[in-house]
Structure 1
Amino acid sequence: MRRHFGQRRIDADAGYTLTEILVVMAIIGMLAAALTPGLVGQLGRSRAKTAQVQVETVAAAVEMFRSDMGRYPTQSEGLQVLMSQPTDGEGWVGPYVKSAKALTDPWGKPIEYKMGEDGRNYAVISLGADGQADGQGLNRDLSAPAAR
């Protein structure tokens, strides 16, 4: 008599039944349905936090520009001046941001720059998830420095 070690005999009853597979799939579906809304909400909140950090980073780059150039970027120059030297670029030691992607928020919309009337105040703004001014919740505007 010859024995084969490590081999098992496969019975016709081996494996899972269709009912067992459907029960497992239903349980996985219920878990996914229960967890997905919380995860989606967390994703939205993390994007808003990322946007706030990004806006503050761009505002810090504006301050570095001012330190080097002795002035803030003009409204017409906008934030692009943080990446490429202006025509009156004496003192410019940029680029102050690594890439154009740093000038877009996590929702893919451009970060805005608003220069104050007096030339001494400015705001760097993300309009939130909806891209519209004056939203609430995840759609709220994020700015740095704090609105004056």
Structure 2
Amino acid sequence: MITHIAGIIAAIAFLLLVCFIGIFLIRITKTMGEVNRSLSTITEDVDALSHQTEKIMANANDLLKDVNGKVATIDPAFQAMGDLGQSVSDLNAATRELTEKVGKSNEKRSKFASASKVGKAAFDVYRNRRTKNNSEES
């Protein structure tokens, strides 16, 4: 009789084990179904994104070609502006040199003007004395 009870307990344990494994397998099956649906949705989304990305890349390439063409058209204008800037810089340098030369010339003129004023003053003093001496003699 003990062997029968042990056999019944073993059978019940095996039945419970089979039930738990069955429940576990049903849940895994549901989970795998959801995973398959998610992967299907993700695949569709990736395909749509891939298609849109291809369009964006094509538009970007067209825009890049357009910009490169326009930049090539504008390059001479930038070169001309650069040349104009260099010309203005050269003109400024020439103006500074001329200003320095005029300043040095003015210094020479002012020295000459001072010397001529001193000479005129000396000549006036000499003439006044001569006139005075001539009027005293007469």
Shorter-chain TM range is 0.3 to 0.5
Specify which structure has the higher proportion of strand. 1
Which one has the bigger helix percentage? 2
Normalising by the residue count of structure 1, what TM-score does the alignment of the two structures yield?
Answer: 0.34
- TM-score, normalising length from structure 2? 0.37
**Higher RCO (C-alpha under 8 Å, 6+ residues apart):** 1
